[in-house]
Structure 1
Amino acid sequence: MLSNIEKRFSILFFIIVLIELITGTVESLQTAHYFAKPAIVISLLFLFIKTSGLLDKSLRNITIAALIFSLLGDILLMFVDQSPHFFTAGLVAFLIAHVMYSLVFLKHRNLANSMSVFLIGLLVYASGLFYVLKDGLGDMLVPVVIYMLIILSMATSAYLRKHKVNQLSYSLVFAGALCFMISDSILALNKFYQALPLSHISIMVTYALAQYLIVLGILKIKKQ
């Protein structure tokens, strides 16, 4: 399933994620956290740029843009304790990243897919999450609603690739999109509802998996 370079990268990637989990949890290692967290997406950028030469140029460039905006979002969210504006800016960066990913996924959309059950499931999930969050959103109500709509659109566009790309590419990207939804949901619950135990670990594990699966899934398009 994975090429040799992808296997070697995967070992390095999950070592980086482990370092981030440790440095982001242990207070005395916070300085290293500022290097470890961005390294997650930076490593994926290097892998993608190195191995995506056979992909469509537009798809390749938009994916790179999605990773760059994700990296920017990662950096901004590390400084939310200094100013709430960093959270808003990080939200915008990730919103743009989700739009970029949606554009990539829609390049292989299959409009013949039946979406009714999937959309119902998404709406039930989003409605339940919003019901829990709404009282704590305050001035962030509109930005969070917009963000939720964008990430739901991203997940939908990932679903629409079904039967249009090979099964491996579809499965990896779709699983990654769902992990992104879970990661953002945990982040929102932790910030706007109540502090969750081990939230840093659950957020970063699902986030790292999301980016890893999406990038690998996009790379597998060339192997149809």
Structure 2
Amino acid sequence: MPPFTLPLATVASAALCIAAATGALPPTLAFVFKPLTTLLVIAWAFTRGAEVPAQRRRILIGLWLSLAGDVFLLWPKEGFLPGLVSFLLAHLAFIAAFSVPLRFGARPWVFVAYGAVALAILSQLWSGVPPGLRAPVVAYVVCLACMAAQAAAWWRSAPTSTPARCAAIGGALFMASDSLLAINKFASPLPLSALWILSTYWLAQLCIAASLPARGSVRA
């Protein structure tokens, strides 16, 4: 199989899901293409990272938990909390993966920077978060910011490493996607929200999968 077959299939599936979510196609197709897109990311990640088995295992766990979150969020109201928990656990798995090449918290200033961004976003949304969701939302934001910060710290420690760069970009895109989702849910509806939220989300997941070195490549 050519190396970019699965990423291209992921992009095609994501486009169909976004079209369904925005009304360009029947909305029920999202129930097919949303989980399928993440399954394609998982399939691509599965072909990578043989040289780093511990990191590969943790990223795959994170992607499977993300798939569970995707399925829960097909029902936005009833599935929001279990979806949030699934993605929180996914971020913990990604943190564990990105802590293989670099000790967690080894670049404290990166965590301070991401924490400041997360706090600024959360402060703007806080009044719209229902009281019953505030504790899980805060826990989620902390895990998300730590995941993105650890990925960025890995890149700072190995600036020529392609896997580290992919991880850092994936972490930043994940924060962007979830920030857009939170704004849309707790502040004010965004035009074409599904397009921006889902496109940044799956680009993030592809980048995280790409943080596993391709078979036969040299890990930096």
Q: Would the alpha carbon gap of residues 57 and 120 (structure 1) be closer, same or farther in structure 2, given more than 3 Å must change?
A: closer
**TM-score in terms of structure 2 length:** 0.89
Preserved CA contact (<8 Å) 1:106 1:160: no
1:104 to 97, 102, 109: 97
Deviations 1:88-139 (A, max 9, x none): 00000000000000000000116796542x3343233122111111111122
Q: Give the secondary-structure state (helix, strand or coil) at the position aligned to 2:211.
A: helix
Q: CA deviation at 1:159?
A: 1.8
1:151 to 144, 153, 156: 144
2:38 to 36, 41, 49: 41
1:175 to 148, 169, 173: 169
2:69 maps to a residue whose letter is G
Q: Would the alpha carbon gap of residues 112 and 51 (structure 1) be closer, same or farther in structure 2, given more than 3 Å must change?
A: closer
Deviations 1:70-102 (A, max 9, x none): 000000000124x2xx10000000000000000
Root-mean-square deviation (Å): 2.2
TM superposition outliers: structure 1 runs of 4+ over 3 Å? 110-115, 163-166
Indicate yes or no: 2:56 matched with 1:60. Answer: yes
1:69 maps to a residue whose letter is L
Q: Would the alpha carbon gap of residues 31 and 136 (structure 1) be closer, same or farther in structure 2, given more than 3 Å must change?
A: same
The number of equivalent residue pairs is 216
Q: Give the secondary-structure state (helix, strand or coil) at the position aligned to 1:79.
A: coil
Residue identity over aligned pairs, in percent, reads 24
Structure 2 gap segments, 5+ residues each? none
Q: CA deviation at 1:223?
A: 2.3
Q: Give the secondary-structure state (helix, strand or coil) at the position aligned to 2:4.
A: helix
1:94 to 78, 87, 90: 87
In 2, distance between residues paired with 1:11 and 1:27? 21
In 2, distance between residues paired with 1:188 and 1:112? 26
Deviations 1:144-168 (A, max 9, x none): 1110100111012112213348521
2:114 maps to a residue whose letter is L
1:195 maps to a residue whose letter is P
2:55 maps to a residue whose letter is L
Indicate yes or no: 2:54 matched with 1:30. Answer: no
Partner of 2:118: 126
Deviations 1:5-43 (A, max 9, x none): 332222222111111111111176112110111111100
